A and B are shown apart, each in its own frame.
Chain A
Amino acid sequence: MAAAAARDPRAPVARRRRTRTGQGRAGPGRAMEIVHVYTRRRSDFGRPCCFSDRPAEVCVDIQPDPSLAEAFVPRSPVDAPVQHGSDMSEHEVNTERVEVETRGVNHVEGGWPKDINPQELEQTARFRKKVEKEENYINTVVHLGTLMEHCVRQNNAIDIYEEYFGEEEEAELEDESPSAKTINVIRDPNVTKRTATHLSWHPDRCKKLAVAYSSLEFQQKTEDMSLDSYIWDLENPNKPELVLKPSSPLVSLEYNPKDAHVLVGGCYNGQMAYWDTRKGGLPVEVSAVEASHRDPVYGAIWLQSKTGTECFSASTDGQVLWWDIRKLSEPTETLVLDITRQGLLENALGAITLEFEPTMPTKFMVGTEQGIVIACNRKAKTPPEKIAGTYSGHHGPVYALTRNPLYPKIFLTVGDWTARIWSEEAKESSIMWTKYHLSYLTAGCWSTVRPAVFFTTKMDGTLDVWDFLFKQNDPSLSLKICDEPLSSLRLQDNGCIVGCGSKLGTVTLLEISSGLCTLQRNEKNLANAMFERETKREKILEARHREMRLKERTRSEGQDAEAEEILEESPQEALDRAQKEFFEVIEAELQRRARAEAQHLHGKVKKHAEEEAVVQGEESKLPKYEEEDEENVAPKE
């Protein structure tokens, strides 16, 4: 209460109010105000504060009122829970990645006694002869010899590692549920991460992986973003084996299947470059900027040729160019992806993926941004004829396009939210497709071993393995690899190990369980039967559609000319007609309502008069609507 003495002179009247229930002089059951009031004269306000010490004095003394105690009942025992939980804290520790390097050690002969020089043959020979004459040596050798002979004979008698029951192992594989194991994770060593846009396995032993890194976001390239792409050796995921240094980031990169030292890469700025790994990280030759693509080169594939130096590339600028890497200054051939077959670049579709099967060297396919797959024939005489057919069915860009390695007529496309399987024979639609997923599909490939198994990756970072013979609704195996979108996928030739690249440049290598990468009994026949059946179904549907369209056409040709004109009204006419119909409907409804109300209030005269006013009011609103609509229509015109 001594604090009350330090007053704030700006407050008009300083009051200390404390309310306590059940206590105080007013008695029980009433909120009591304990108030300490002091007053000052108005003229004293605004004066400077002058603090001084003074002894404590009691301002208020509130005595306890024993009579209130009757309002309370003592309670005993009292249950009061007390909890003490020990404080826990959570800590995470992650050890730093250890950089491991492999080095060799050179052996040098040693162990000789000091006086003998190991290089001198005489001395060593003399030492040896001396040792051989020792008795200890002779005894030891005899003893050890018998021991050794026993073991050698054992080995000669029985081979303990012989496979006794090799034929019976196949029966055990049926019940294994599909799974996959991460064997390695390779990260982009740069600070600013780029997307791993393309993966290519080394053709011989698949121990090396070439990864193209670039940032595909529009104009996201920062100053410190490195242009390099790397070749990784799987034994050493910390440090790339070779750094490829193009002049512009690589979007696609492929090993030459004939010559494992040569790689071709398509750059972000449209150029093509090729490397020889024996010659280092700089490209051996780069194509001329004028003759190259105008957009990033999304697909670059090697062709089958005697020289092994031919490749072709596709880009979203609508062109497919053929190159010979010995002379990258200009392409050997060009094709414009114009499906109206006029060869106009303006009409051309942008290519996102390219597909080529070495067993069919004259045909190739291009997946476009517009969702159409174009099948082309390289050997056609005129450029318009090169485009053999189109398959449309995707709503968005076709991100992956691969033929089934065992049934080349069947190919897989991945785009928008589905993956679709097509047959070359069914041109109108895909023969089989997956359901629409929640996230966009980014890449896909067939299994090289099993004809009905394929892999897809999604934008939410999951890898799905589909076994279409087993289950078509859902993937057989769905793995969440990382949180960022996966951008590329590549299977090794053995069908077991798959690499997926993500948006932040992390390449994850997974080993698929053997159930998904070993050919089951009779699988080829079953898969063949399934594809044939679906193709037949599509062909029947196609034929039916054609029939229906033909019927429609003949029917519409047989009608009157007037009817035809009505059908072909302009948008403005359609608008007017729609407006008229709309008002007709409103008027009819209003009249109906008016009649209903008039009947309902038939006896009441007063309301009848009001009613008419209401009806008139509604009708007067109509012209207002019309005016409003005309106002809207006028600016459109």
Chain B
Amino acid sequence: MTELENYLFSGIPIRTTLDNSTTVQYAGLLCQLTMKARSTVRDIDPQNDLTFLRIRSKKHEIMVAPDKEYLLIVIQNPCE
């Protein structure tokens, strides 16, 4: 039960399995969050870099794999 999207770092969805409006929302919000997370990690230790970001919420888990230009975002429903 996963949905996946690819984004350009500017927030444009390249490929997605969700509907457009949700994708756009995730795009905008998660891009900024990833930027913030990355800058946090690098502020603390400049040699370090963000490799993966996981956000677990009540309903599902959002996983973000950042790269220099692109972001891969997967939303997974946890198996109970």
**CB within 8 Å of B: which residues of A?**
107, 109-112, 127-128, 131-132, 136-137, 140-141, 143-145, 147-148, 151-152, 155-156, 159, 161
A582 to B6, CA, bound (A): 110
Shortest CB-to-CB span from B72 to chain A, Å, is: 4
Q: Mark B1-36, 1 if CB is under 8 A from A, else 0.
A: 010101010111011000000001101100100000
Q: Which residue of B lies closest to A150 (CB)?
A: B52
Does B76 belong to the interface (CB within 8 Å)?
yes
Is there an interface contact between A155 and B27, defined as CB atoms closer than 8 Å? Answer: no
Is there an interface contact between B15 and A140, defined as CB atoms closer than 8 Å? Answer: no
If A137-B70, A159-B80, A161-B56 touch, whether A147 touches B51 (CB-CB below 8 Å) is yes
Is there an interface contact between B14 and A145, defined as CB atoms closer than 8 Å? Answer: no
Is there an interface contact between B80 and A131, defined as CB atoms closer than 8 Å? Answer: no
Q: Which of A110, A132, A137, A155 contacts B76 (CB 8 A)?
A: A155
Chain B residue contacts of A128, Cβ below 8 A: 14-15
Q: List 15 A-B contacts (CB under 8 A).
A: A111-B8, A111-B11, A112-B12, A131-B8, A132-B15, A140-B70, A144-B72, A148-B65, A151-B52, A151-B54, A152-B76, A155-B78, A155-B79, A156-B79, A161-B56
Chain B residue contacts of A143, Cβ below 8 A: 67
Chain A residue contacts of B2, Cβ below 8 A: 152
Given contacts A107-B24, A110-B11, A145-B72, 4 further A-B contacts (CB under 8 A): A109-B28, A131-B8, A140-B70, A161-B56
Does B37 belong to the interface (CB within 8 Å)?
no
If A111-B12, A144-B67, A147-B65 touch, whether A159 touches B78 (CB-CB below 8 Å) is yes
Is there an interface contact between B24 and A144, defined as CB atoms closer than 8 Å? Answer: no
Chain A residue contacts of B63, Cβ below 8 A: 148, 151-152
Chain B residue contacts of A147, Cβ below 8 A: 51-52, 65, 72
A112 to B8, CA, bound (A): 9
Number of residues on chain B facing chain A (CB within 8 A): 31
**CB within 8 Å of A: which residues of B?**
2, 4, 6, 8, 10-12, 14-15, 24-25, 27-28, 31, 51-52, 54, 56, 61, 63, 65, 67-70, 72, 74, 76, 78-80
Chain A residue contacts of B31, Cβ below 8 A: 111
Is there an interface contact between B69 and A148, defined as CB atoms closer than 8 Å? Answer: no
Chain B residue contacts of A107, Cβ below 8 A: 24-25, 28
Q: Which residue of A lies closest to B31 (CB)?
A: A111
Is there an interface contact between A144 and B28, defined as CB atoms closer than 8 Å? Answer: no
Chain B residue contacts of A111, Cβ below 8 A: 8, 10-12, 27-28, 31
If A137-B70, A144-B70 touch, whether A109 touches B24 (CB-CB below 8 Å) is yes
Residue from B2, B28, B65 with most neighbouring chain A CB atoms (10 Å)? B65
Is there an interface contact between B28 and A110, defined as CB atoms closer than 8 Å? Answer: yes
A110 to B31, CA, bound (A): 12
Q: Which residue of A lies closest to B4 (CB)?
A: A148
Chain B residue contacts of A137, Cβ below 8 A: 14, 69-70
Q: Which residue of B lies closest to A137 (CB)?
A: B70
Shortest CB-to-CB span from A179 to chain B, Å, is: 28
Q: Which 5 A-B pairs have the closest CB atoms?
A: A111-B11, A111-B10, A144-B72, A144-B65, A147-B65
